[in-house]
């Protein structure tokens, strides 16, 4: 694998008034994660990649990010939550259960 883990942050902005991750500090969380991964020495090939994403279609659960290859979906409130995801999951491989979203899509 080129990257051990890949984290995508939904940065979707909707103009029609529906919920969207951009309305909940997603850009700041992405920026913080990118800095935290670099500071921790986890960035680069063979390690971790932090990416922006358009709509991940879970805005009602948002803000959201997803870590691959595990396919673990997270929500977060602040930088402390992002730091926990970086340290425990991206570095240690441990899922942060308190921030994890259900895997299955809920009926709408």
Sequential pLDDT tens for the chain (108 residues): 899 999 999 999 888 878 889 989 999 999 999 999 999 999 999 999 999 999 998 988 889 999 999 999 999 999 999 999 999 999 999 999 999 998 765 544
Which helix (DSSP H) or strand (DSSP E) does residue 27 occupy? helix 26-39
d(CA 35, CA 70): 22
Sheet with strand 48-53: strands edge to edge: 48-53, 5-10, 64-68, 72-75
Cis amide leading into 41 (omega within 30)? no
Contact between 20 and 13 (Cβ < 8 Å): yes
Q: Which domains does the chain have, with CATH numbers?
A: 6-99 (3.40.30.10)
pLDDT of residue 104: 61
pLDDT of residue 34: 98
Q: Which residues lie across from 68 on neighbouring strands?
A: 6
């Amino acid at each position: 694998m080129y990257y051990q883990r890949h984290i995508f942050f939904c940065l979707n902005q909707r103009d029609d008034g529906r919920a969207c991750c951009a309305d909940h500090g997603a850009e700041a969380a992405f920026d913080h994660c990118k800095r935290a991964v670099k500071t921790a020495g986890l960035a680069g090939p063979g390690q971790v990649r932090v990416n922006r994403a358009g709509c991940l279609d879970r805005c009602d659960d948002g803000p959201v990010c997803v870590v691959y290859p595990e396919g673990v979906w997270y929500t977060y409130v602040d930088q402390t939550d992002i730091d926990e995801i970086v340290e425990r999951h991206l570095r240690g491989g441990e899922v942060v259960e308190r921030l994890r979203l259900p895997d299955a899509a809920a009926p709408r």
